[in-house]
Amino acid sequence: MTAPAHGQEVVPKFRGPATTAPLGVELSERETPVHPDTRRRAPAAHVTLDAVAREAGVSLATASRALNGTTRVRDDLRGRVRAAADLLGYIPNAHAQALASAEGNRTVGLICHDVGDPYFAGIASGVMRAAAEQDLLVMLASTFREPAREIAYVSMLRAQRARAILLIGSGFQDRAWERGMDTELEPYVRAGGRVAVVSRHRSMRVDTVQPENRAGAAALAASLVELGHRDFAVLSGPPELTTVADRLAGFREGLAAAGITLRRVVRGAFTREGGHAAARQLLATGGARPTCVFAVTDVMAVGALAALREAGVRVPEDMSLAGFDDIPVVREVSPPLTTVALPLTEMGEQVIALALRTPSGAGRSRVLRIEGNVVLRGSTGAPPGS
Amino acid sequence: MTAPAHGQEVVPKFRGPATTAPLGVELSERETPVHPDTRRRAPAAHVTLDAVAREAGVSLATASRALNGTTRVRDDLRGRVRAAADLLGYIPNAHAQALASAEGNRTVGLICHDVGDPYFAGIASGVMRAAAEQDLLVMLASTFREPAREIAYVSMLRAQRARAILLIGSGFQDRAWERGMDTELEPYVRAGGRVAVVSRHRSMRVDTVQPENRAGAAALAASLVELGHRDFAVLSGPPELTTVADRLAGFREGLAAAGITLRRVVRGAFTREGGHAAARQLLATGGARPTCVFAVTDVMAVGALAALREAGVRVPEDMSLAGFDDIPVVREVSPPLTTVALPLTEMGEQVIALALRTPSGAGRSRVLRIEGNVVLRGSTGAPPGS
DNA sequence: GCGCTTTCAGAAAGCGCTTTCTGGTAAGGT
DNA sequence: ACCTTACCAGAAAGCGCTTTCTGAAAGCGC
C-alpha cells in the first residue's frame, strides 16, 4: 500500500459510512442520579432577591445594596445577605437589573459574516479577549453577507440595549443598505449607544478601524513589480464590497505607478472555492498567462493555489501568487503565501476599545487606520525566464 | 531577486514598520453631517411603547397587542400603531419584554475556548447558522481554557436567562470544576434552562454531542497498522482534557488489537506551537525514530508537520503523520493530512438543536454520538524501507 | 326591543430589580 | 442633658413591557 496521490482521499473499507446523515439513530438516553450535594433547597422557578432578603431577615433594598456594594451596609447584615444568597443559589436577573439601573447591561453586539471564516475568526478572537477583560458578554450575529440580515441584526442588538455594536467587514456599496443602516444607527448613537466598524464605510457617522486596503494593495503591487513582474492578473471578489473595490483600485494604482496596466480581472466568490474557480477560469482562457496573480483575500488565494497546483502550474516558478490579510493558514501551505499582513487580533481589540471609549462628541467620529505590511514569502519570485 | 527560501519572510525595505504598536498615532477625527432623512423626530433617550401609544391615540395595552399580534386588534388601530412606531423609530426594550413575559428572551449562550481556533470556529459556525434560522441571538464567551472562567460564564449566562447554554470542548477531569459546574447547571436546568455539551462529560446531567474520540482514534490506529507501521509515537495534549485522554486511550487500544505497544507519548500544549514543540522534542531524543506519529488534534498536527519539514524529515517517506478533527487547513498543507474527520458544522447545529428540544424529562439526558471517519491523505504511507 | 354572547380596548397588576427618599438610631459637640 | 450630624435600613416609586381582568359596544336570536 503506497501513499495516496496528493489531494486524493481514501476512506478505508472497514470503516462504516459517515455518520453525518442519520444522526438520530445514535441518540440514546440515560438515567442521571442527582448529585447529593446539589440538592440544597430546591428553587421553584428562580430565586429572587426578595427571597434572599426574606431569608436574611432584611429588606429588599438592603439585600440589593449588600450584594452590589454601592452604598455602605453594616458588615453583619452584608454577611447574612451573602450567606442567604449562597444558600438559595441566587442568580440576579440581568434583565431586571438592566431595566432598573441606568447602567444598562454588560453586553456588546458583534456582527460579522461568519465566524468560520479565518479573517473574522481572527478579529473576533481579539474582540473576545478584550471583552473578557472587561467582563462583557458578546452577542454574536452572523449575516452570511446578506445586507438585509445585517440591518435586522442591528435592530435586534438595539433592542437588547447592547453597550456597543461592532460591525466587522461590513461596508456594502449599496444605497438601500446605507439608508437602512443610517436610520438604524443614528437614533442608537443618539441614545448613547456606541458603534464601531472594521472596514470602510461611506456613512461617516461611526468610529472606524480601517485597514489601509488601498495603500496595502499598492505597496504589494510595487513589491511584485520589483521582483520583475510586468504581467498581472487579479482574482477579485464581489465588487459591491468596499474592501474588494479598494484593494483592486490600490493594486491598479501600484501598477500604474510603474507604468503597468492590469491585464485581467477575474471575479469570484469571496471564499476558498471562489478563489479556486477564479484561478481555473484564468488558466482556462487562452492567450499569454500572467506571470503574477493577486487574489484580493488570502482565503481566495489559498483556493487559487490549490487550483494552480492541480493544473500543474508551479508556484512561484511558473507563476507567482499573492494574497491579502495574512490569515494563519497562509503560512502552512506550500509555498507559504506572500500577502499583506493585517494585525487581525489587534484590530478586534481596537474596534471594541474604540466603541467603548467616551463618545467623541456630536457629529464627530474617529478613524483608526491600520497599515498593512507586505510580507514576501515563497509564493512569489522572479517571473519565469528572467 | 529570487524567491525567498521556504519559511523565510522578507519585508521590503520601502515599507514602514508594522503599525501594530503606536496605533493611536493614526487616529483622526472628522466632521459628520447629519443625513437629512434621518432627522425625523429626535428621540430624547429611548422611545417607549407608551410614547407610541400616545402618538397613535390608543392605550398602552393596545399598542403592545398591535405590535405583537397575540390577540385580535382592529385593523385600523393596528395600522395607526404601526405607523406611530415607525414614525418615532420605536425599538422595543428586550429586557422589559423578557421581564414581563413568561417567554423570556431569544438568546442562547455559547461557551468555548477561543473562536480563533478552527475546531471551535467550525462548530460555532454551525451553531450560528442554526441560531440565525430561529432568530436567536448567541451570546459568546471565550474561556481560554480556564475552568474557573468557564464556571463564571455559566453564571453570567444564567443571569442573562439564556434559553440554553452550550458548552463546546468543555470537559475537564477536575473535581473542583465538576462540582462547580454541577452546582451552576443543576438549578439552571431545574428552572427550565437547557444545557448541551460537545465533548464527554462525567456529569451525566446534560445533553451531549459526543464525538467518538476513542473509537475514532482506535480506527485510525488500525488504518496505520494496515499501512505497515509498527513503531508509533503520539503527540498528546493536556491530559486533564477528556478529549485528549480518550483519543490517547483509543489509539492505544487500536494498537493493542494488533499486538503493538505505543512507544512514546510526548505532551504538548493544545496549539499549533504545542504540536511544533512536541515534534521537535520527539526528534531531539536519541534512539530509533517512530515511523508514524499521531497528533491528537489537527491543530497540533499542522505544527508538527512544520517541525518535521524544518528538521528535514520527509512526510510520508521518512515518517507518516496523522491528526484528528479534519479542520479545513489540513487539506491545504503539503502533504494533506490524514485525519479522523468530524462533521464540525453539523455538530454545532446538532448541539443547539439538542439543547432547544423539549426537555427529556427529569433525570434523563440524551447523548448524540458522532462517529469520526478515518480519511487517509498524503501524509501517511508505508513505513520507510518496506 | 330585550337579553344573550362575542369582540376588543383600556385599566391595572405585576416581572425583579435599582435608587431615591424618609426616618430611626447612635455618635459627637456644647 | 439636648441638639446636630452621620450613618444606614426600609418603604416605595419606578424601569418598559406583557397580560390578565374588566367593561363597553356591537351583533344576534327571539
Say which CATH number the domain at A207 has.
3.40.50.2300
For B103 and D27, how far is CA from C1' in angstroms? 35
Quick one: A223 and A320 in the same domain? yes
Contact A35 B186 (CB under 8 A): yes
Omega cis (within 30) before A33:
no
* Chain B residues close to A326, C-beta within 8 Å: none
Contact A125 B110 (CB under 8 A): no
Quick one: B175 and B288 in the same domain? no
In a domain, A28, yes or no: no
Contact A93 B99 (CB under 8 A): yes
CA distance A110 to A194: 12
For A124 and C19, how far is CA from C1' in angstroms? 37
A73 touches strand C (CB under 7 A): no
Interface test with A, best of B160, B197, B333, B347 (most A CBs within 10 A): B160
Nearest by Cα to B373 from B325, B341, B337:
B341
Omega cis (within 30) before B22:
no
The mean per-residue pLDDT over the stretch A77-103 comes to 92
For A165 and C10, how far is CA from C1' in angstroms? 37
pLDDT at B22: 37
pLDDT at B359: 65
For B171 and C15, how far is CA from C1' in angstroms? 36
In a domain, A85, yes or no: yes
Quick one: B185 and B247 in the same domain? no
Quick one: B203 and B352 in the same domain? yes
Quick one: A48 and A87 in the same domain? yes
Quick one: A226 and A327 in the same domain? yes
Cell numbers placing B107:
438568546
Omega cis (within 30) before B335:
yes
Q: What is the CA radius of gyration of chain B?
A: 27
Nearest by Cα to B271 from B237, B241, B240, B305:
B237
Quick one: A270 and A245 in the same domain? yes
In a domain, B82, yes or no: yes
Q: Which residue has the cell 489587534?
A: A346
For A68 and D4, how far is CA from C1' in angstroms? 31
In a domain, A352, yes or no: yes
Helix (H, G, I), strand (E, B) or coil at A261: coil
In a domain, B97, yes or no: no
Quick one: A287 and A197 in the same domain? no
DSSP string, B106-136: SEEEEEES-TTSHHHHHHHHHHHHHHHHTT-
Chain A: closest CA distance from residue B317 (Å): 9
pLDDT at B200: 73
Q: A57 phi and psi, to 5 degrees?
A: 75, 30
pLDDT at A185: 85
Chain A: closest CA distance from residue B4 (Å): 5
Quick one: B218 and B324 in the same domain? yes
Q: B97 phi and psi, to 5 degrees?
A: -65, -45
Quick one: B112 and B55 in the same domain? no
The mean per-residue pLDDT over the stretch A73-92 comes to 91
Omega cis (within 30) before A335:
yes
List the single range of A10-19, A157-166, A262-271, A317-326 with lowest mean pLDDT.
A10-19
3-state secondary structure B16-41: CCCCCCCHHHHEEEEECCCCHHHCCC
User: For residue B295, what are the contacts with CB-CB under 8 A and spacing of at least 6?
Assistant: B234, B235, B275, B278, B279, B301, B303, B304, B321, B322, B323, B324
The domain total for chain A is 3
In a domain, A306, yes or no: yes
Identify the helix (H) or strand (E) that includes residue A220: helix A213-226
CA distance A76 to B107: 38
If you average pLDDT over every residue of chain A, what do you get? 86
**A28 in B contact zone (CB under 8 Å):** yes
Nearest by Cα to B263 from B237, B242, B285:
B285
Domain boundary, last residue among A31, A61, A92:
A92
Q: What tens digit of pLDDT does each residue of A161-216 get?
A: 999 999 998 767 778 888 888 888 888 887 778 889 898 776 657 889 999 999 99
CA distance B203 to A313: 54
Chain A (320-349) residues lying within 8 Å, Cβ to Cβ, of chain B: 328-329, 332-336, 341, 343, 345-346
Nearest by Cα to B209 from B170, B251, B155:
B170
CA distance A108 to A131: 8
> Which of residues 76-135 of A have CB within 7 Å of strand C?
90, 92-93, 96-97, 99-103
Q: Is the pLDDT of residue A282 over 50?
A: yes
Nearest by Cα to A241 from A324, A360, A305:
A324
**A124 in B contact zone (CB under 8 Å):** yes
In a domain, B26, yes or no: no
Look at B288 and A373; give whichever has higher pLDDT: A373
pLDDT at B46: 83
**B159 in A contact zone (CB under 8 Å):** yes
Max CA separation in chain A (angstroms): 89
In a domain, A380, yes or no: no
User: For residue B101, what are the contacts with CB-CB under 8 A and spacing of at least 6?
Assistant: none
Contact A191 B45 (CB under 8 A): yes
Chain A: closest CA distance from residue B381 (Å): 4
Q: What angle do CA A368, A370, A372 make, to 5 degrees?
A: 170
Chain A (90-109) residues lying within 8 Å, Cβ to Cβ, of chain B: 91-96, 98-99, 105, 107
Q: In terms of DSSP bridges, do strands B137-142 and A137-142 run parallel, antiparallel, or are they unpaired?
A: antiparallel
**A34 in B contact zone (CB under 8 Å):** yes
CA distance B97 to A201: 33
pLDDT 10s digit of each residue in chain B, 386 long?
444 545 455 544 333 333 333 333 356 666 555 444 333 343 456 899 999 999 999 999 999 999 987 778 888 889 999 999 999 999 999 999 999 987 888 999 999 999 999 999 999 999 999 999 998 999 999 998 888 899 999 999 999 999 999 999 876 777 888 888 888 888 788 777 888 989 877 666 788 999 999 999 999 999 999 999 999 999 999 988 889 999 999 999 999 999 999 989 999 999 999 999 999 999 998 778 999 999 999 999 999 999 999 999 999 999 999 999 999 999 999 999 999 999 999 999 999 999 998 765 555 778 899 999 999 999 999 999 87
Cell numbers placing A27:
441518540
Nearest by Cα to A120 from A138, A134, A105:
A138
Q: B164 phi and psi, to 5 degrees?
A: -155, 155
Max CA separation in chain B (angstroms): 89
Contact B11 A377 (CB under 8 A): no
CA distance A132 to B153: 10
Q: Is the pLDDT of residue A10 over 70?
A: no
Q: Using a CB cutoff of 8 Å and minimum separation of 24, what contacts does A224-228 make? A: A224/A292, A224/A294, A224/A320, A224/A322, A224/A380, A225/A254, A225/A255, A225/A258, A225/A260, A226/B1, A226/B12, A227/A292, A227/A320, A227/A380, A227/A381, A227/A382, A227/A383, A227/B1, A228/A382, A228/A383, A228/A386, A228/B1
Quick one: B166 and B62 in the same domain? no
Contact B191 A38 (CB under 8 A): no
**B213 in A contact zone (CB under 8 Å):** no
Quick one: B219 and B291 in the same domain? yes
pLDDT at B41: 41
Interface test with A, best of B49, B86, B128 (most A CBs within 10 A): B128
Residue range of the domain that includes A153: 107-211+346-370
